[in-house]
Structure 1
Amino acid sequence: MLLGWLLLAAGASDAAGPRWSDLAATVFHNYGRDQGLPHPVPTALAQDRDGFIWIGTQGGLARWDGYRFHSYKADPTKPGSLHDDWIQLLHVDRAGRLWVGGGAAGLARYHAARDRFVPVPIGPTEGRIHIGAIADDGRGGLWIGSDDGLRHLDPARGTVRPTTFPPAPVRALLREARGALWVGTTRGLWRRAAGATAFAPVPLPKGATGVGALFQDGDGRIWVGTLRRGLLVIDPTGTAPRPIGGEAILSTGSVSTISAAGPHEIWAGLRGNGIASVDTATGRVRLIRHDRSVANSLAHNDVWALLRDRAGSLWVGSTGGLSYHPRTAGLISTILASPGQAGGLSASDPLSLLATRDGRLWLGYLDGGVDLVDPAGGRIAALRPGTSLPPDVVFAMAEAEDGSVHIGTRRGLYHADRLGRAARLVTIAGRDPHAAVTALAHDAGILWVGGDDSGLLGVAPATGRVIFRPRLADGGIAVIRRGKGNDLWIGSRNGLYRLDLATRAVEHIAPDPADAAALPGRFVVALLVDRQGRLWAGTFGGGLGVMTGRGADGRPRFRKIGVAQGLPHANVDSLQMDGAGTIWAGTDDGLARIDPATLAVRALRQADGSALIDYFAGAGATSATGEALFGAKGGVTIVRPGRLPHWTLQPPLVITDLRVGGVSVPVASFNRGTSIGPLTLTPEGNSLAVEFAALDFTAPERNRYAYRLDGFDRDWTETDANRRLAIYTNLPPGDYVLRLRGSNRAGVWAERELSLPVRVMPAWYQRLWFRLAMAVAALLAIVAIVRWRTRYLRDRQADLERQITERTAALRAANDRLGQLAMTDPLTGCANRRHFMARAEELIAAAQRDGQPLSLAILDLDEFKQVNDHHGHPGGDAVLARTGRTILDQAAPGEVAGRIGGEEFALLMPNTGLADARRRAEQLREAIGAGSVEIDGERIAVTTSMGVARLGRGDDFSRLYARADAALYTAKDGGRNRVELVPPAE
């Protein structure tokens, strides 16, 4: 550790760092206004006790659940709204409360249970106070730094009192682990020891008069970010700050924020200069900067805020938006093409890779040219297209015994010296010198050359004389690999070949779709021989085949590994074995790790550190240190040997939106288990919509979900990240419990479930007294009829029979009306959700049995929330009622119309194909859009978006509904007020 700090003081960041450190990119996922941020400049970040990420911006506050931003804006006319749209800072105290510091309007506390903000008066100048810093005082109170000094919030009284120190704007506060309070101002740094009452100045280096950030790391060091003199550090046992040298911006730049980025890594956010990453173990400093040519780089170099969340991932707020860097195992690095970076890759698409014995990496590009890269220092040489090499594709490279390199291009074979200074065209006897060379291999003094049309040649490297000319069925050579003994394996467009180097016999191994143990694909582009001597063959379209031996007939037998076994794509572009013997496959849709013992496959994505997806055929190599290297569109993936841990994060499961009868309800008390009593649904608002999320931000699209309403649902309903919504309408009266489950990105279910008690109140006609009254009335009527009929039986027998018939019919009509009420949505007149689904199952079963067409249309009113917001629920109910009448009026005989959600309707059309269903849907859309209702003298009109799907063979209602619902979302995304179709799944 002492050596590391000596290096820091001496500016050790200029020394060569670990392998690839100067080239490896820190990859981010960036969010901006297009993704829902209320303003493109995030200035403050925090994670609350529930796990939500809060983002303060210059134009409002946002809460992120992994899928969407819920925004809060200042609105003086709305009680409990945000007090100031310019959020200067966010702070979560030890009790889990979120505090919001405004740029001008002072301080507010977020009241989670009521989903509103409570202003906190902090002085006579309230309304013009700029909050610069907040820190816990260790006793439940807060220290508050502002433009006019330091204040303290008393936890018992809830009042704020000013202090007499310091007489300068406070920009940073830190209460260290031992209880001391550090105060950074525009004029310097002060410290008050635990138990003391006075502040002592902390001497700063010359010119470092202002402090903008303070942070204590896990080893007890205090990091000081200055306003004009960069980054300083104070040892746990020291008193004087020392500068972090080696980079000009670290001695003269302005540090706005500091955070731990890992066990031995500190990030310092710089105003205008990106992020300085300091390795506290080695003292090395590297810069993380925005690069216009790299989409996944830091959003902007003007950094305002940093946050390390509970999963260990990093969030960055900058002038260009919100940047997210997920925590990874650290085994995978990415080199992104950045022509403007000193020592970086000179082109974007490395089509061929060669790791030489001296530890360097050669990269040949799709557009021509070759880079020679030193892992410790970056690019050290380049053969430029049009100068040293032809301006065309570099397909393959191979290292000769003397360290020189042969380069196969679309325009011939070239030979370069080991330092990559020059290259010359190689002439092979009897071969067109400008014919394409697609595969190369050096073995035992022979250069093997494969081409598109010329097949395979064994050449003496020094003279160009052809030694071997094996007879293959065709050309199209993609890869050459030496196997066990005398085997030379050749992958081509027409299968696999084995050349016996002793006898020169050629064996052709072709795929056979009828044989499950045959080669899985015809076009073989990748070959590998593992430590057990097994041959692995990667194909286009057929996945991966592992040769397990030969059958009784002598034919090779393969174990197939495809998409069904976990490969991310059936096109396997490159196969590499790392230094630990693990097999890695680059595919057209990402990287996969394969256990050589079990053949178990694990697909990797950006959350695992694999930022690139589309790999190139044949673009792979294994370095002398055992790293697996892959070329892809946009750069190179580097996989170091080591254990790739399984993702075991237990993400908190939270409700993100809750609506009862279409009215939003605050969710915090349900997330924290502090709600009093069940959620009550009245007859007038008998609908429940719950949106929920598992807060694993690393890859939220891979999270899984399930829900069940105990007392109503028979089993769990599983869904994915796109449909995290449980909706129930017209529930029968009674007590229920809605149970919610969520998983992390690896599909591991969180141990904690959310339970939401629900009580549905009965309507007047569903209450016991009404039912008893009806039963008594019916009994009395029967008794009266019997007595009356007995009295007049003889003289009015015919008349009595007529009256009995009339009374019986009246009772049946009453029962029919009660039944109709139970099946009908009272507001719209359409079938309710339960009746609609029952009818749907009957009609689908009949259609499947009789082979008749059937189509389903899902309708959702556009911008319906605005109707409720501007006209209240009476206006919304009027629009819904008018929509229901329109659907019923437009429905043809035999069709079933239902209301299945708040503003969501469905129309089931038996004996109707997709074309007719589209025509019917367009007519219905026009009819809805043509009408309006009048509320308070104003005409209200709405439009609708519709998704239509036709029943496919083997479909049940859930599959038909899912496809129609997907079409509905397409219509929404396509601009609303339109109809989208989806064909049946045959």
Structure 2
Amino acid sequence: MPVDRPTRPRRLSSTRARLAFLLTCLCLVVGFAVHAQQAPAAGVDPWAVFETAWFDTVGVTDGLPHSTTTAIVQDKRGLIWIGTFGGLARFDGYRMQVFGQEPDSYAGAVLPDSYVRALMPLDDGSLLIGTNAGGLVRFDPTTSRFHVYPIGPGGTSNGKIFAIARSHQPNVYWIATEGGIDRIDVGNDTITRESGRPGDAHDMLARTFVVAEDKVGNLWAGANNGLFVRHPGGHFERVVSTDPAVDEMLHDQVWAIRQDSKERVWIGTGQLGAFYIDAQGQGHQVPGLSGKGGMARRRTIRAFHETPGGVLWAATDGAGVVTYDFNTGSLRTLSHDAAMPSSLPGDITRDIYQDTTGNIWVATELGAARYDPNGRKVFSVLPSPLETHTLSNANVHGVFVDPRGRVWLGLGMGRIDVLDLSKGTMRHLQLDGEQAERDVQAFVVAPDGSIWAGAQGVSRIDPDTFALRSSMVPALDSRLILSMQRDGQDILIGTYDGLFRYDTVTGVLRQMRHDDADPKSLVGDQVRHIVRMSGAWWYATISGISIAYDGEPGFTNLRHDPANPNSLPQDYTGSMVFDSHHRLWLGTFGGIAYLEKFNPRGPFRFGVIGAREGLANTKINALLIDHDDRIWASMANGVAMVEAGSHRVFDLGVRDGLRIPSYIHRSAAEAPGGELMFGGLGGLTVVRPYWTAPQAAPARLEITHVAINDKPLPLSQVPEDGGRIKLDSDGRNLRVDFALLDYRAAAETHYAYRMEETDSAWNEVAHNIPPSAIYTNLSSGTYTLRLRATTRGLDARTIESTVRVTVTPRWYESVWTQLAGILLCVGAFFGLVYLRTLYLRRRAQLLQIQVDARTRDLKAANERLAHLAGTDELTGSLNRRRFLEQAERVRQGAANDGIPFSLVLLDIDDFKSVNDTFGHLAGDTVIRETMRVISSMCRADDLAGRFGGEEFILCLPGALAEHALDITERVRHALGSLVIVHGDYRIRITVSAGVAMWRGPESLNSLLGRADEALYEAKNEGRNQSRLAGL
């Protein structure tokens, strides 16, 4: 088949060229005029040459059986399969399931050869595997076993399989082998030989490295001696060209073939790079990619891949990956950089694959590398001494944009890198003298247009020639420069030792410092940032903010006041920016402070956005605002975006492209195109606020492995979202491995799971632990297992997946068995209850007899105790306590019924002489006999008792005073005539008495008192008489 070089387009005439130039200039002028009012328009990315492609590597430490990877594909469930020199691995982003020749391969599935050369996922979930010596193999997910196809008759032409390609016919695939091209129908597992037939090109060697079918059905074959094609219904014929250069490439080894979106067929050769054949059959070289001098450096091109954005990736065997942009024609090499761990891990690349969520995987000799083209809202410019468009030092201490739109980066060790975005160049400068080993933290445009750089002292840089002059201000050569701004002919310089104002005309240098005795002095000596406001200069220090109003002496100082919630949230201050609504935003080490209505003269009532609003870190290093009034903040350990109106906070993450973890104070600036630049420890972070990721399929939260009683399920039985897991009667232990299959930012994806019927809350998976849901001793029944993944970043999302879990009951857990068991238990229960009732009833009767007997004894004992407690031991009558209790009841009855009663107190006259004369025993006899006489003369309702010692008391219910006095007199006379015999003694006594009648509502104590007074009246008047108390 002849292939010819197309004719070159004609050049534009000189008139047309001038007109085009003028139109271009006009467009540029208009573009610069409107730039400040709107986001930059889409076009050629000026950062493309500086943007570092960040690769994450999956290697041996992650579980790969061998570091050299050869083929990468994704199955229908979304899992990545990686072929290596040492076996095959199935990867879910966290775990590897490895298949090899060893008996301990996953699920016991053993490959005939561990060197995997080619992979092809099939629609039924199975996988075709081409090995180096073991022939063609098919993995069956229903059994988790490998089916090995025969080699020779009825099988493949050779045991070495180089490539597998899809045909447009259902279930049909093409196999490139050491012995030729084969066709396999996976529907019936038949293999037929397709090359070496009568009519095929006689010079076509059997050794075929690659085979591919284009959209019209042409079958392209890359053989050991060139490119061949078979048109539908025809035979293989050699592809030739009348262009000697193209024809030479057509006769080289062909290892890669791919048809792009423009229906061009790209050919990768053994030593001569790559070229393409257009739809008309003409061959075309690509400058820089084709020929021995191309970027492939005479290395074999092993694979192609076209991205949705129209960029061709070419994998080379030793020169890394070469990319070719169809839109701009630009070429770029992605290769290993020993100074950059995020670069491609190895330059020997054998395959390129883009998964459904957009990740581009590259098979290298040092692992599988993954690049995320969707995570480019944020990108990094990284350091490396091996590349021309990388930084000369890792730490970016200052970022500055000069009037020409060039980006100046102040780096460590006195280095400065200048990025000219319009030209795509980077210039490296090295300060000398005292600044050679110091961090470059500040830049300013001097009145003469030169660039001044501050490190230790100040240097001047010619903006045209980049000539350096050190020690512009000799007096500052020993001081570290933190910030600089121009004020007319003066330069304001912030240092650790206060603020300096340098007159560039006279050379006069003035210093302003903090003075504790002067409240209008500078608030602090460490001046970190200088900002021009309306009619004033604002100086941010670590001790607060000083404001110098034009024409006024001294400073107005703003500090944090713990007693004032509207003061600065923290004294360590830095960046200050305004949004389009003239709100001031201020970075502090206590969060983002803001003034809703900025007035240059105050009052300054600050609000704050901090941890409560969602900031992951409140130490704000720098602030920038995009054209949509979104605030972007670099923090001590990350970058956040804040919506100005709602104060909603978004923490950027790896999915956005954020890779540099730590940032430097005040190191930030907006690029001419609206990009936001933040200097960090490890490189420069660039944010594209308006960049939108290409459309890609949403990531799925999938179950990737299920084990029941530690036995893995066949992969075909692993359920998808909404599926079911069934455990038999012996399977009560369940392990479910799951993962979000976007393979991005595993450390920033938070997982949780919950079995709704058993878990009251979500079970959170610990950080850096592969997500698994583990349950043991599950009871029979049906459960709902919910899985959850939460991502971080500007597009943070929560993805959930659900699966039903059914646990089959054991024989004794069936409904009928349980019902019979329940009935038996109920019968046994009632039987036991009846027997126990009989037993308890008999026991209760015996206990009742004992209780009754003990109750009687207790009652008698209590009655005796009660009697003893209320009885006078000597006389057997009522004692004082019991008498008063019963007398009180009489008083209460009298109060209720109006029935009168009287109280009588009697006392034996001169009782002491009885004891002294006859002895105490005789005295006791006298007291007993006296009580006996008194009791014998009382009525049935009367109360009589011993009041204490030789005193006695009577309560006479219903007795008026005269009646009571009469009774008392009879008692007194009876006692006066009584002769008490005690041994040989005859004793006579007399008594004195006091009578008192109750008068309502008198208390008992009052009544006793009146009776006592009457008694003592009788005593005082001669004894042996009764007296009636007055009413």
Q: Same fold (TM over 0.5)?
A: yes
| Superposition pairs of residues 693-704 of structure 1, within 5 angstroms | 693-704=739-750
What one-letter code is carried by the residue in structure 2 that aligns with 1:172? V
Structure 1 counterpart of 2:778? 731
Deviation at 1:500, TM superposition (A): 1.0
Structure 2 counterpart of 1:459? 502
What one-letter code is carried by the residue in structure 1 that aligns with 2:162? G
Quick check: 1:383–1:389 contact (8 Å CA) kept in 2? Answer: no
Deviation at 1:765, TM superposition (A): 7.1
Structure 1 counterpart of 2:53? 26
Cα gap change, 1:98 to 1:443, in 2 (>3 Å):
farther
**384-393 or 435-444, larger mean C-alpha shift:** 384-393
Q: Are 1:642 and 2:690 an aligned pair?
A: yes
Cα gap change, 1:640 to 1:741, in 2 (>3 Å):
closer
| Superposition pairs of residues 255-274 of structure 1, within 5 angstroms | 255-274=301-320
Q: Are 1:167 and 2:205 an aligned pair?
A: yes
> Of the candidates 516, 522, 546, which is equivalent to residue 571 of structure 2?
522
Q: Matched residue of 1:312: which SS?
A: coil
> Of the candidates 605, 608, 611, which is equivalent to residue 563 of structure 1?
611
Q: Are 1:692 and 2:722 an aligned pair?
A: no
Distance in 1 separating the partners of 2:604 and 2:832: 92
| Superposition pairs of residues 173-572 of structure 1, within 5 angstroms | 173-196=211-234, 198-199=236-237, 201=239, 203=241, 204-207=246-249, 208-245=251-288, 248-250=294-296, 252-328=298-374, 330-377=376-423, 381-386=427-432, 389-409=435-455, 411-418=456-463, 419-427=465-473, 431-453=475-497, 455-466=498-509, 469=512, 471-483=521-533, 485-540=534-589, 542-549=590-597, 554-572=602-620
Distance in 1 separating the partners of 2:831 and 2:553: 108
What one-letter code is carried by the residue in structure 2 that aligns with 1:465? V
What one-letter code is carried by the residue in structure 1 that aligns with 2:508? R
* Percent of residue pairs bearing the same amino acid type: 27
Cα gap change, 1:505 to 1:486, in 2 (>3 Å):
farther
Cα gap change, 1:508 to 1:775, in 2 (>3 Å):
same
Distance in 2 separating the partners of 1:686 and 1:800: 52
Distance in 2 separating the partners of 1:476 and 1:526: 14
| Superposition pairs of residues 856-875 of structure 1, within 5 angstroms | none
Quick check: 2:752–2:762 contact (8 Å CA) kept in 1? Answer: yes
Distance in 1 separating the partners of 2:671 and 2:840: 108
> Of the candidates 133, 136, 155, which is equivalent to residue 107 of structure 1?
136
Deviation at 1:678, TM superposition (A): 5.2
Q: Which runs of 5+ in 2 are unaligned?
A: 1-5, 12-42, 197-203, 514-520, 848-1031
Quick check: 2:388–2:426 contact (8 Å CA) kept in 1? Answer: no
Quick check: 1:606–1:612 contact (8 Å CA) kept in 2? Answer: no
Deviation at 1:649, TM superposition (A): 5.4
- Cα-to-partner distance string for 1:814-869 (whole Å, 9 max, x where unaligned): xxxxxxxxxxxxxxxxxxxxxxxxxxxxxxxxxxxxxxxxxxxxxxxxxxxxxxxx
Deviation at 1:372, TM superposition (A): 2.7
Cα gap change, 1:332 to 1:221, in 2 (>3 Å):
farther
| Superposition pairs of residues 926-945 of structure 1, within 5 angstroms | none
| Superposition pairs of residues 628-639 of structure 1, within 5 angstroms | 628-639=676-687
Structure 1 counterpart of 2:99? 72
Distance in 2 separating the partners of 1:378 and 1:509: 43
Distance in 1 separating the partners of 2:247 and 2:553: 76
What one-letter code is carried by the residue in structure 1 that aligns with 2:408? W
Q: Are 1:153 and 2:153 an aligned pair?
A: no
Structure 2 counterpart of 1:138? 168
Quick check: 1:18–1:376 contact (8 Å CA) kept in 2? Answer: no
TM-score by length of 1: 0.73
Deviation at 1:799, TM superposition (A): 14
Distance in 2 separating the partners of 1:102 and 1:768: 56
Distance in 2 separating the partners of 1:307 and 1:37: 18
Quick check: 1:343–1:377 contact (8 Å CA) kept in 2? Answer: no
Structure 1 counterpart of 2:145? 116
Distance in 2 separating the partners of 1:539 and 1:475: 17
Distance in 2 separating the partners of 1:800 and 1:734: 50
Cα gap change, 1:461 to 1:666, in 2 (>3 Å):
farther
Distance in 2 separating the partners of 1:673 and 1:395: 53
Q: Are 1:749 and 2:767 an aligned pair?
A: no
- Cα-to-partner distance string for 1:874-922 (whole Å, 9 max, x where unaligned): xxxxxxxxxxxxxxxxxxxxxxxxxxxxxxxxxxxxxxxxxxxxxxxxx
What one-letter code is carried by the residue in structure 1 that aligns with 2:54? V
Deviation at 1:70, TM superposition (A): 2.0
Cα gap change, 1:507 to 1:141, in 2 (>3 Å):
same
Cα gap change, 1:513 to 1:663, in 2 (>3 Å):
farther
Q: Matched residue of 1:129: which SS?
A: coil
Distance in 2 separating the partners of 1:710 and 1:625: 51
**180-189 or 282-291, larger mean C-alpha shift:** 180-189
What one-letter code is carried by the residue in structure 1 that aligns with 2:777? N
Distance in 1 separating the partners of 2:646 and 2:458: 40
Q: Matched residue of 2:129: which SS?
A: strand
What one-letter code is carried by the residue in structure 2 that aligns with 1:135? A
Cα gap change, 1:329 to 1:674, in 2 (>3 Å):
closer
> Of the candidates 674, 696, 712, which is equivalent to residue 664 of structure 1?
712
What one-letter code is carried by the residue in structure 1 that aligns with 2:128? W
Structure 2 counterpart of 1:609? 657
Structure 2 counterpart of 1:824? none
What one-letter code is carried by the residue in structure 1 that aligns with 2:501? G
Q: Matched residue of 1:252: which SS?
A: coil
Structure 1 counterpart of 2:111? 82
**45-54 or 366-375, larger mean C-alpha shift:** 366-375
What one-letter code is carried by the residue in structure 2 that aligns with 1:412? G
Distance in 1 separating the partners of 2:560 and 2:819: 73
| Superposition pairs of residues 702-781 of structure 1, within 5 angstroms | 702-713=748-759, 717=763, 719=765, 722=769, 724-743=771-790, 746-750=795-799, 753-762=801-810, 764=812, 768-769=816-817, 772-773=820-821, 775-776=823-824, 779=827
Quick check: 2:395–2:682 contact (8 Å CA) kept in 1? Answer: yes
Distance in 2 separating the partners of 1:472 and 1:773: 89
Quick check: 2:709–2:733 contact (8 Å CA) kept in 1? Answer: yes
What one-letter code is carried by the residue in structure 1 that aligns with 2:71? A
- Cα-to-partner distance string for 1:450-498 (whole Å, 9 max, x where unaligned): 1111x12332223332478583032001111112x21211110101222
Q: Are 1:38 and 2:65 an aligned pair?
A: yes
**563-572 or 280-289, larger mean C-alpha shift:** 563-572
Deviation at 1:375, TM superposition (A): 2.6
What one-letter code is carried by the residue in structure 2 that aligns with 1:130? K
TM-score by length of 2: 0.70
Quick check: 1:232–1:244 contact (8 Å CA) kept in 2? Answer: no
**657-666 or 598-607, larger mean C-alpha shift:** 598-607
**330-339 or 757-766, larger mean C-alpha shift:** 757-766
- Cα-to-partner distance string for 1:352-396 (whole Å, 9 max, x where unaligned): 122111122222222223233323556654442445843222221
Q: Matched residue of 2:824: which SS?
A: helix
Deviation at 1:183, TM superposition (A): 1.4
User: Who wins on radius of gyration, i.e. which is larger?
Assistant: 2
